[in-house]
Structure 1
């Protein structure tokens, strides 16, 4: 059975006194042809949107437009994690898996 989801998990610690919480989101790619550059680009766009959503990047606190540094770190970590999953999926597809 082929997997058709990349799961993106983000662990955020809002402040040191608060407990960490984890959110996750699944990214579908069954409809994409990952053996093409176009399919891979679309999946990368989905990963980017999902990473921003799960890490709440772009959510601003009241009175400021500055993004939370922990959201930026979460985004970078989530993108790295998802990129590794994407590379494995693309390699599997290219090998006929």
Structure 2
């Protein structure tokens, strides 16, 4: 795959915490070393995405520690949103874009 990196942005954080879009926490997930056409590569990608989602959802945009409920809600929404992003990027790669 030609996908060099995925940006995991906590899109839900802006809604949940009413912060501006520019202040959203983000993490970069390296995928260049993964063979995403294999089950092992896809499983490792999911593990990395989970780790990154936990990282971006731990704190709010002001650097304040989120409550467990806020972190959990952010994590669920972020993983849901990133699954859509991964599907879009994967389909574009398959189409040669």
Settle same-fold status: TM greater than 0.5: yes
Deviation at 1:22, TM superposition (A): 1.5
Indicate the structure with greater strand content: 1
In our comparison, the structure showing a higher alpha carbon Rg is 1
If each structure's helix is expressed as a fraction of its own residues, which one has the higher value? Answer: 2
- The TM-score with structure 1 as length reference comes to 0.70
Once the two structures are TM-superposed, the CA of residue 78 in structure 1 deviates from its matched residue by: 0.8
Alignment of 1:13-28 (within 5 A): 13=17, 20=19, 21-28=23-30
Q: Which runs of 5+ in 1 are unaligned?
A: 14-18, 62-66
Cα RMSD of the aligned pairs, angstroms, is 2.4
- Moved segments of 4+, more than 6 Å: none
**30, 36, 40: which one pairs with 2:32?**
30
What does residue range 62-81 of structure 1 map to in structure 2 within 5 Å? 68-81=68-81
Give 1:91 shift: 3.4
Which blocks of at least 5 consecutive residues in structure 2 are unaligned? 60-64
